[in-house]
Structure 1
Amino acid sequence: MIDYKNLFTPTKIGSLELKNRFALAPMGPLGLGDAEGGFNQRGIDYYTQRAKGGTGLIITGVTFVDNEIEEHGMPSVPCPTHNPVHFIRTAKEMTERIHAYQSKVFLQMSGGFGRVTIPTNLGEYPPVAPSPIQHRWLDKTCRELTVEEIQTIVKKFGEGAYNAKRAGFDGVQIHAVHEGYLIDQFAISLFNHRNDEYGGSLENRLRFAREIVEEIKERCGEDFPVTLRYSPKSFIKGLRDGALPGEEFEEQGRDLDEGIKAAQLLVSYGYDALDVDVGSYDSWWWSHPPMYQEKGLYRPYAKLMKENVDVPIICAGRMDNPQMATEAIADGTCDIVSLGRPLLADPDYVNKLRRGEVEDIRPCISCQEGCMGRIQEYSILNCAVNPQACRERVTAYNPILKQKKVLVIGGGVAGCEAARVSALRGHQVELLEKNDRLGGNLIPGGAPDFKEDDIALANWYTHQLEKLEVEVKYNTTATKDSILAANYDVVIIATGSTPKVLPLGNDQQVLTATEVLNKEKDCGDKTVIIGGGLVGCETALWLAQQGKDVTIVEAMDNLLQNNGPLCHANSEMLEELIPYHNIEVITNATATGYKNNQLKIKVDQNEKELACDSVILAIGYQSEDSLYQELKFDIPEIYLLGDAKKVSNIMYGIWDAFEVANHI
C-alpha cells in the first residue's frame, strides 16, 4: 500500500489547528440556504456529512454579505447579514455537528459577482462592477459602484464575519481575488478603469480586498483566521475569450508577475492563507476544469505562491489522485489539498483513503452535469454520480421489510446502480450482462485518455457489486422464457441503447463511434465524423490527438446543439479544442453517400465530396427496450431504466436507478 500518512498529519492556519491536510473546496451552495439567509436542513446535512467523512476543514460555498447593493433574489444562498439571528441559529446547529467530528469549518463570504453574475440568478437586478464594463453573459453594461457602496460592503464583511464567529465558524474565506468576481474585477486593470483611490496602481486596485481583511480583523480579532480565494493568473485573451492549455497568448488579465506581487501584498495586509487556483469566467474552463484539463492543473501555481509568500497554501483542481496529493504535500507544492467535486461524488473520500480503501472511493468524472451545470441552469447543487449529494436526508437508504429476489438485466450505469442500491438495502440481487465487463457505454466513452474517470467509475461499480455479493453473470443474454421460469419478485430492465446507423453505400468503411472507440474497427488516417454532438466531438478530439486527419460534418448550424454538456465550461472548452487541434468542421451539412473513399455531402443545397478512409457515425442512440415490451404484462413488479427508457446521460441513468432501487 502506498503511504499517504503525510495527508493525515495536522497543520495550522494561523493559530487554528486542522486534523489533516484535506479541505472541502467551496462550491456554490445553491439550494442549501433558506429564504431568510440561513442554512436549510439540506445544507446542514450536506456539510456535516463531509465532516463525518473525515475532511479536516469544511469551507462552505459562497454566501453574500450584501443583498442590497448587488441584489439577489431570495432564497439564493445564505447571507450572514440579512437576518443575523436566523443565520446564527441555523449555522450554529451546523457548526456544532461539524465540530463533533473534529473538523473545522470556514464560512466563505462574497462581496458580489459583479459582471459575472449568472443570468438565471440575476433576475431583474442590474449588474454592478468597478467600472461601466461589459457583462460576461449579457449584452449589458454594468453599473459602476460608488465609493460609499464599496465602503458599505466592507462594513458588511465585518458584520458577516462577526456573525459567523458567533455561529461557531472557526474562520472565514473571502471570495475573492479570484475567477473574476467583483473584488477580483477591482484588482484587474482590464475591468477596473477607476481614477479614485480604488483604481490605478496595484495597491489601489487591491484596496477593496485590504479593507475587507482589516475590517474583519478589527471586528473578530487577529486570531480569527481570514483566508482568501486567489488566482495568480487569469488566462484571459480578451473579454469573453479564454486561452487553452499550451496556447501562446498575451495575458489581458492578471499575469504571473503581477500575481506574485499581488499575493505578497495581500498577505502583508493580513490574509492568513491563500486558496489557489487560476482562471476567470472569461476562461472558466480553468476555474471549473472539465475532464479535458489535466489532473492537478493548479499545482504549478500553488507551488509558485508557496515559494513567494509565508502563509499556508491550499490547492484544489482535480486533486483526487491520492498519490498526486501526497506528493504535493511532500514536495512543498501546498499545505492543504482541497477537494470539491470529489467530495460531492464521495463524502467519505478521506476516511476511505485513511483506511486504505482506495478502490471504494467513488470517482468524480468531471462532467459537471450535477454540480456546475445545475447551478448554472437551475440554481441547485448536486452530483451526477452521487444522487445523495446535497439531499442526504431525503435520499437516505430505505430499510426493507421483506427481502425480494431482484433481477437486473444490463450492466451499464443504470443497471449497476440499481443492483448496488438494491443489494445494499438487503435484497437478493442477480445481474445479467451480455458482454464480458460492466460499464455499458462508459467503456467506449472512457476510451480517450481525458475520459479515464469513466473507466474508473465502471471499475468502481464492478468492485461494489463484488463486495455486496451480487451474482453477476457475464456473456449472458436474457430471454422472456428464462426470466419467467426463475420466479423473480422484481425485474429491472436496463438494456441500454444501440448506435443509430445511416446507410451510405460502402458500409464496410462506415463505422459507428462505438466501434472506433472500442478499437473494434480501424478508421484509417483520414476520417469524417457525421454528427457534432458530444460523442462526435470527443471522438474527433481523441483521434486528432493521435495525429489523425479529422473532419466533422454536422447538420445543425453549430456543434453540441443536441445533448451537449449542461455546463458551459465543458462545452465551451470542447468547442475551442476542436479548431485548436485542426479539426475541420462543416455545419448545415448532410451526408448523402459514400463510395470509393469519397463522402458526398450537401451543404446549403450545394454538393461536395470529401476524400476519407472511413466515415464514423455519431448520430445518436436508440433505446433497446424490446425485452421490456415482451415482459411488461407478465411481471408484477417491473421497471425500465437508463437508455432503455430514454436515451440520456450518465447522471439521469444513475439518478433514476437510485430512485427506483431505493423504493423496492
Structure 2
Amino acid sequence: MMDKKIGDLFKPVTINQLELKNRLFMPAMGIVTADENGAYTKAAIAFYGARARGGVGLIITGANQVVGSAGKKTVSSFPTPLANPEAYTSAGLELTRAIHEQGTKIFVQLAASWGSLAEQYKGCNAMTTAQIQGLVAAFADSAKIVQAAGFDGVEIETGELLDGLTLAHLNQRCDGYGGALQNRFRIVCEIISAIKTVCGSSFPVILRFGMKSYLKEGGHQALPDETFVEQGRDREEALAAAVLLVAAGCDGFDVTAGISMFESASYWKYPPVYFGKGVYLELCEVLKKVVAVPVLAAGKMADPELATEALKTGRLDMVGLGRPLLADPELPDKLKNDQSKDIRPCLGCNDGCLAQLIAGHEASCTVNPDCNRELQPMFKTVTNPKKVVVIGGGPAGMEAARVSAVRGHQVTLFEKSYRLGGKLKYSSKRILKTADDELIRWYEIQLEKLKVEICLDELAIPEKIAAINPDILFIAQGAEARQVTFPGNDSDKVTNALDVITDKTYVGPRCIAIGGGLSGCEAALHLAMHRHKMIIVDSSPDILSAGIPLAPANKQMLRDLLAFYRSEIITSARLKAVTEDGAMIEANGQERLIPVHHVMIAVGFEPAPSLFKELQHNYPQVYQLGDSQAVKNIRAAIGAANEVAGRV
C-alpha cells in the first residue's frame, strides 16, 4: 500500500489536453543509439519499455537529430526522423505501442546540431534567413513524422545550436533574429508555431529550457553558492522569454540550467554528486509565478519527500527521474507499493552513463549493469543450488553475493570489518556523498531478504573456508592505501585520507594532501569545506589525471570547488620529508618547506593481501573480483561481479 505522504506523486496531470497517469517523468538522456536508418533499435525499445513497465508517467526520449549539416538530411548515432521517415515511423510505432501498453506516454526530444559547438555558434551568426527558415521547417517536418510514429508530443531542446541564437553574448546578428530578446527567441517561437500548424494545436510541444547559464567572466562555470555577474542568460531574461514562448504555443517547460558551450563538462546540465538535492527547484519556483503551463524538472529529485513537498507547495508540476531510472527502472512502482527501501540508489557519479558515452562505449549504469542491456538473457535460476562463499563485503563482494543468491545458491559472506561496503563506508563520510551509504544500505536489505549468511567482524581464514567446503569461492578482499616511506613518516603530523574523513585523526587548521587523485582531492575538499587551509601536492602535471578517468562534469566541478574553497594546488612535485616545521617538497628541481599542522597521505590504493593464490586450486570454482584483482572503480567492480556471478 502506498504511503499517503507521497500520494501527490501519483496524481494525474495534464499537458495541453494529454493526461498523464502520475507526476513522474524520465527526462531526455543520451543512452540509446539508432540504426543505420536513423530509426530506433530493438535495444532502444527494450530500454524504454523497461522504464514504462516500472510505472513512470511520461518518458522523454534522448535527442532526435533534426538536421545534420546546413539543413541536409544526414544520419548520426542519434535517431533522425528525416533520414528515413518510413523506417523511423515503423520502429517508432513498435516503440510507442510498447510504452502505451503500460499506460505511459512518450515524447520525443528534437534537437538541432551540426559539427562542434564552436562551429555551431559560428554558424548561427552566418546562417541566412532562408537557412533559418529551413531549420524551422525541418523541426516541423520532424515533428510530423514523430506524430505519425505514435509519439504523444515533442520537446524542443533549446540548448546546443539554438543557444547560439538565443543567448545575447553568442548572437551577433543584426537582422530580425538578433539583438532584442524577442528577436533572439524568434526562431524558437517560429518552431513551436510551425509544429502546431502541421501537427495540430492539441499536439503537446514543451521546451527543455536552460533558465540560467551560470557563466561567469572569463568563460568559466559558476558554482551554486558563488557570487558572480552572469555573462549568459539570467533568470530575469528567462522569465521574459517564457512569456513569449507560451504566447507562441509552448505547452510546458522542462527546466534545466547551464550552457552547452562546456559540452560534457557542464556540471549544471549533468549535476554530479557534489550538488545538493533539487538542483533546479529555485528556478522552477520563479517560473511558476509567470506561466500557467506545467513546469517540469529533474536534477537530483529522487528523494520522495523533497519531490512531494515541491509538488504540494506549487514549486513545480512534474518530477524528473533521469539517472535514478537508470539505476532502478521500477522506482515509481516501488514508491507506489511502499517498497522505497528496495529502490537501488543513483550515486550521481556520471560514470556508468555519461562518461561511458563520451568514451565511445555503451552507456549503462554504475550500480545497475543490466541498464541498456535489457535484451540480454536474465540470470538463470539454478536447478542444482551450490554452496557459495564470498570473501570481502565491498561492492564486488556484495554484488557477487546478491547475484548468486538471486540465482538460488546458498551464500555465505565474510567481512572482516564491522559493516559491509568496503571503501564505500568511508567515502560516504565525505560531504555530499551520502548516496554511497544508501547503496550499502540497499545491499544490506537485499542480502537479508535473500537469506545470505553475513559474517561481520570475521576474518576469512582458510580453515573457516574449508569447514564450509564451498563449490564456488569469490575472493573480493579489496584494496588498501598505498604506503610510502620518507624521512619523518612516523611523525604525529602524518595521517592518511581514510583516517581523516572518518574523524579518526584530528587535523589542524593547515594541512597538506600528498596525492591529487580522486580520494586525495575529495578528502581535501572535505577539510576545506570545514575551514581548513588545504594544499594539494601531486607528482603529475595535473590533479585528477591518474587512474580511471572521471566523468568530465564531476572532474570539473571538483576542480572548481577546490578553487572556491581556496585550496592551493602544486603539481609536478613530490614529498621529500616531514619535519617539525612542516612538509618539505621538491618542485621544478627546488626544495620548498611548507608550514603545516598535518600531512595527509592519499597516494591511491593497491590490492590488499589476498587468499587467491593459496586457495585457487582448493575448490571447484575460485574467482578473484574487484580491487582484489586490480584497483578499479565502483562501476568496474560491480559490473565484473555481476557478470561472473551471473554465469557460474
Query: Residue 515 of structure 1 contacts residue 521 of structure 1 at CA under 8 Å; is this kept in 2?
Result: yes
Q: 2:281 is matched with which residue?
A: 299
User: 1:408–1:593: structure 2 CA closer, same or farther, 3 Å change rule?
Assistant: same
Q: 1:613 is matched with which residue?
A: 597
User: 1:281–1:34: structure 2 CA closer, same or farther, 3 Å change rule?
Assistant: same
Q: How does 1:21-32 map to 2 (within 5 A)?
A: 21-29=23-31, 31-32=32-33
User: 1:351-396 CA deviation, whole Å, 9 max, x = no partner?
Assistant: 1111111111111111000111122221643111110111112152
Query: Residue 343 of structure 2 contacts residue 442 of structure 2 at CA under 8 Å; is this kept in 1?
Result: yes
CA distance in 2, matches of 1:644, 1:493: 7
The residue type equivalent to 1:325 in the other structure is A
Query: Residue 73 of structure 2 contacts residue 82 of structure 2 at CA under 8 Å; is this kept in 1?
Result: no
SS at 2:378 equivalent = coil
Q: 2:52 is matched with which residue?
A: 51
Report the CA distance between 1:238 and its aligned residue: 4.2
User: 1:484-519 CA deviation, whole Å, 9 max, x = no partner?
Assistant: 332211000110000012123242432221121222
Please point out which of 526, 550, 553 is paired with 1:566.
550
Q: 1:138 is matched with which residue?
A: none
Q: Which sits farther off after the overlay, 227-236 or 146-155?
A: 146-155
CA distance in 1, matches of 2:380, 2:84: 36
The residue type equivalent to 1:128 in the other structure is Q
Q: Which sits farther off after the overlay, 514-523 or 585-594?
A: 514-523
Query: Residue 128 of structure 1 contacts residue 144 of structure 1 at CA under 8 Å; is this kept in 2?
Result: no
Report the CA distance between 1:148 and its aligned residue: 2.5
2:537 aligned with 1:535 = no
Report the CA distance between 1:565 and its aligned residue: 4.7
The residue type equivalent to 1:85 in the other structure is E
The residue type equivalent to 1:368 in the other structure is N
User: 1:400-436 CA deviation, whole Å, 9 max, x = no partner?
Assistant: 2421211111000010011111111211111110011
The residue type equivalent to 2:27 in the other structure is A
SS at 2:521 equivalent = helix
Q: 2:189 is matched with which residue?
A: 210
User: 1:462–1:452: structure 2 CA closer, same or farther, 3 Å change rule?
Assistant: same
Please point out which of 142, 145, 168 is paired with 1:163.
145
Q: 1:86 is matched with which residue?
A: 87
Q: Which sits farther off after the overlay, 617-626 or 309-318?
A: 617-626
Q: Which sits farther off after the overlay, 624-633 or 405-414?
A: 624-633
SS at 1:3 equivalent = helix
CA distance in 1, matches of 2:36, 2:436: 38
Please point out which of 431, 434, 457 is paired with 2:416.
434
CA distance in 1, matches of 2:496, 2:71: 50
Query: Residue 372 of structure 1 contacts residue 567 of structure 1 at CA under 8 Å; is this kept in 2?
Result: yes
Q: How does 1:495-506 map to 2 (within 5 A)?
A: 495-504=477-486, 505-506=488-489
The residue type equivalent to 2:323 in the other structure is R
2:239 aligned with 1:260 = yes
2:316 aligned with 1:334 = yes
Report the CA distance between 1:534 and its aligned residue: 0.7
CA distance in 2, matches of 1:70, 1:214: 19
CA distance in 2, matches of 1:113, 1:498: 47
CA distance in 2, matches of 1:271, 1:576: 36
2:534 aligned with 1:550 = yes
SS at 1:185 equivalent = helix
User: 1:161–1:218: structure 2 CA closer, same or farther, 3 Å change rule?
Assistant: same
User: 1:282–1:522: structure 2 CA closer, same or farther, 3 Å change rule?
Assistant: farther
CA distance in 1, matches of 2:347, 2:564: 24
Q: How does 1:158-197 map to 2 (within 5 A)?
A: 158-176=140-158, 178=159, 181-197=160-176
Q: 2:21 is matched with which residue?
A: 19
TM-score (normalizing by structure 2): 0.96
TM-score (normalizing by structure 1): 0.94
CA distance in 2, matches of 1:87, 1:510: 62
CA distance in 1, matches of 2:126, 2:443: 52
CA distance in 1, matches of 2:368, 2:377: 10
Structure 1, unpaired ranges of 5+: 118-126, 133-141
CA distance in 2, matches of 1:238, 1:250: 7
SS at 1:234 equivalent = coil
Please point out which of 350, 353, 368 is paired with 1:371.
353
Query: Residue 475 of structure 2 contacts residue 610 of structure 2 at CA under 8 Å; is this kept in 1?
Result: no
Q: 2:70 is matched with which residue?
A: 69
Q: Which sits farther off after the overlay, 626-635 or 324-333?
A: 626-635
CA distance in 1, matches of 2:35, 2:537: 47
CA distance in 1, matches of 2:104, 2:441: 31
The residue type equivalent to 2:297 in the other structure is C
Count of residue pairs brought into register by the alignment: 641
CA distance in 2, matches of 1:158, 1:170: 15
CA distance in 2, matches of 1:51, 1:569: 28
Structure 2, unpaired ranges of 5+: none
Q: 1:233 is matched with which residue?
A: 212
User: 1:251-310 CA deviation, whole Å, 9 max, x = no partner?
Assistant: 111112111101111111101000011111346111111111111010010111111111
Q: 1:124 is matched with which residue?
A: none
Report the CA distance between 1:74 and its aligned residue: 4.6
Q: How does 1:305-324 map to 2 (within 5 A)?
A: 305-324=287-306
Q: 1:403 is matched with which residue?
A: 385
User: 1:120-169 CA deviation, whole Å, 9 max, x = no partner?
Assistant: xxxxxxx333x46xxxxxxxxx8833333222221121121111111110
Query: Residue 69 of structure 2 contacts residue 114 of structure 2 at CA under 8 Å; is this kept in 1?
Result: no
Report the CA distance between 1:208 and its aligned residue: 1.2
SS at 1:593 equivalent = strand
Report the CA distance between 1:73 and its aligned residue: 7.9
Please point out which of 120, 129, 138 is paired with 1:128.
120
Q: Which sits farther off after the overlay, 199-208 or 53-62?
A: 199-208
SS at 1:615 equivalent = strand
User: 1:493–1:73: structure 2 CA closer, same or farther, 3 Å change rule?
Assistant: farther
Please point out which of 325, 333, 339 is paired with 1:357.
339
CA distance in 2, matches of 1:385, 1:275: 26
2:199 aligned with 1:220 = yes
Q: Which sits farther off after the overlay, 31-40 or 331-340?
A: 31-40
Q: Which sits farther off after the overlay, 374-383 or 601-610?
A: 374-383
CA distance in 1, matches of 2:184, 2:434: 42
User: 1:233-265 CA deviation, whole Å, 9 max, x = no partner?
Assistant: 111114641111121211111112111101111
CA distance in 1, matches of 2:601, 2:145: 58
SS at 2:569 equivalent = strand
The residue type equivalent to 2:184 in the other structure is R
Query: Residue 443 of structure 1 contacts residue 518 of structure 1 at CA under 8 Å; is this kept in 2?
Result: no
Q: How does 1:84-123 map to 2 (within 5 A)?
A: 84-112=85-113, 116=117
Please point out which of 614, 617, 622 is paired with 1:630.
614
Query: Residue 163 of structure 2 contacts residue 260 of structure 2 at CA under 8 Å; is this kept in 1?
Result: no
Please point out which of 582, 606, 616 is paired with 1:598.
582
SS at 1:108 equivalent = strand
2:425 aligned with 1:443 = yes
Q: 1:144 is matched with which residue?
A: 126
SS at 1:164 equivalent = helix
The residue type equivalent to 1:278 in the other structure is A
Query: Residue 114 of structure 1 contacts residue 182 of structure 1 at CA under 8 Å; is this kept in 2?
Result: no
CA distance in 2, matches of 1:648, 1:143: 46
CA distance in 2, matches of 1:146, 1:418: 59
User: 1:565-617 CA deviation, whole Å, 9 max, x = no partner?
Assistant: 53211111111111210111111110011121421111111111122222111
The residue type equivalent to 2:187 in the other structure is F
CA distance in 2, matches of 1:663, 1:425: 10
CA distance in 2, matches of 1:187, 1:582: 35
2:253 aligned with 1:271 = no
The residue type equivalent to 1:153 in the other structure is L
Q: Which sits farther off after the overlay, 160-169 or 105-114?
A: 105-114
CA distance in 2, matches of 1:358, 1:662: 25
Report the CA distance between 1:526 and its aligned residue: 2.1
